[in-house]
Structure 1
Amino acid sequence: MDAQDQNWDDYRLFLAVAQAGSLSGAARLLGVTHSTVFRRLAAFEDRLGVRLFERLPSGYVLTAAGEAMEVATTRIDDEISGIRRQIVGQDHRLSGQIRITTTDMLAIGLLPPYLVAFRREWPGIGVELLVSDMRLDLMRREADIALRLGNPLQETLVGRRVGRLAFAVYAARGVQVGEDLIAQDWIGFGSAHAPLRQALKDWLPDLRPQFRTNSISAAVAAARAGIGLAALPCAIADPDPQLVRIAPFPDNFGLDLWLLTHEDLRHTARIRAFVDFMTEVLAAKADLLEGR
Structure 2
Amino acid sequence: MDIPWDDVQLFLAIAETHSISSAAKRLRLGQPTVSRRLAQLEYALGYALFRRDVTGTSLTTEGERLLLPAQRMAEWAGEIARAASSTERTPSGKVRIAAAPGVGVDFLAPFAAWVRDRYPKLRIEVLTSYHYLDLARGEADLALRMRPSASDDLTTVTSFEHANAAFATPGYIKTLKKGYGIADVGWICWAPPYQDLAPNPQLEALIPNFVPSFTSDNFLVQWRAAESGMGAFIMGNVKHRFAAPSALVPLDLDLGPYSRSTLHLVCAKSALDIPRVRTVADLLAAELNRAKKR
Partner of 1:200: 203
> What pairs with 1:6-25 in structure 2 (closer than 5 Å)?
6-25=3-22
Partner of 1:268: 274
Distance verdict in 2 for CA 1:287–1:78, change over 3 Å: closer
The AA in structure 2 aligned to 1:226 is G
SS of the aligned residue for 1:235 comes to: coil
Deviation at 1:285, TM superposition (A): 2.8
Deviation at 1:274, TM superposition (A): 0.4
Deviation at 1:208, TM superposition (A): 2.9
Q: 1:129 aligned to 2:126?
A: yes
Q: Which digits, 9 at most, give the CA deviation of each residue in 1:36-69, with x for residues without a partner?
A: 2112111222233322111122221112222222
CA distance in 2, matches of 1:14, 1:112: 33
SS of the aligned residue for 1:111 comes to: helix
Unaligned 5+ runs, structure 2: none
Deviation at 1:151, TM superposition (A): 3.3
Distance verdict in 2 for CA 1:201–1:274, change over 3 Å: same
Partner of 1:156: 153
CA distance in 2, matches of 1:202, 1:239: 32
Q: 1:32 aligned to 2:36?
A: no
The AA in structure 2 aligned to 1:222 is A
Partner of 1:244: 249
8 Å CA contact retained: 1:178, 1:184: no
Deviation at 1:107, TM superposition (A): 0.9
TM score, norm. by length of structure 1: 0.85
Deviation at 1:131, TM superposition (A): 1.7
Deviation at 1:212, TM superposition (A): 2.7
Residue 108 of structure 1, aligned match among 96, 99, 105: 105
Q: 1:254 aligned to 2:260?
A: yes
SS of the aligned residue for 2:74 comes to: helix
Identity %: 28
The AA in structure 2 aligned to 1:23 is I
The AA in structure 2 aligned to 1:193 is L
Unaligned 5+ runs, structure 1: none
SS of the aligned residue for 1:141 comes to: coil
Question: Cα RMSD over matched residues?
Answer: 2.6
SS of the aligned residue for 1:164 comes to: strand
TM score, norm. by length of structure 2: 0.85
Distance verdict in 2 for CA 1:170–1:128, change over 3 Å: closer
The AA in structure 2 aligned to 1:135 is Y
8 Å CA contact retained: 2:148, 2:156: no
The number of residues matched between the two structures is 284
The AA in structure 2 aligned to 1:177 is L
Partner of 2:184: 183
Q: Which digits, 9 at most, give the CA deviation of each residue in 1:142-177, with x for residues without a partner?
A: 111111224344321111334233221222232222
CA distance in 1, matches of 2:69, 2:109: 41
SS of the aligned residue for 1:174 comes to: helix
8 Å CA contact retained: 1:85, 1:265: yes
